[in-house]
Amino acid sequence: MIFVREYIGKNHENSERDKRIHIVNHIFACEIEEEDKYELEPDPDQVGIEWLKVEELEKYNFYPKDLIKELKLFDPDTRTNSYIGDMN
């Protein structure tokens, strides 16, 4: 695990609609051992699963956008904190 990110709905632009939403994401560093070794199945609310390279995230509709910077700066040798806070 490299980061923990939260979304606390009452703190953001859709606060009235999202005031009861609190999401905690655990973000892990992963590598693909071998293409097509595992069959990944999306959960019922997803339309698909795809491995993305960190250096190419700006090309995609990646959310939250602010996380891209954190992922690009991540260095396991110098990391001091894995909690990156409430981020939309």
How do residues 59-77 score in pLDDT, each as one tens digit?
998 888 888 988 888 887 7
| Host domain of residue 66 | 3-79
Q: Is residue 71 part of a domain?
A: yes
pTM of the model: 0.68
Q: Is residue 11 part of a domain?
A: yes
Q: Is residue 88 part of a domain?
A: no
Q: Is residue 85 part of a domain?
A: no
Predicted local confidence at residue 17, as pLDDT: 93
Distance CA 14, CA 56 (A): 29
> Residue 81: how many CA atoms within 13 Å on its side-chain side?
5
Q: Is residue 40 part of a domain?
A: yes
- Count of domains observed in the chain: 1
Q: Is residue 37 part of a domain?
A: yes
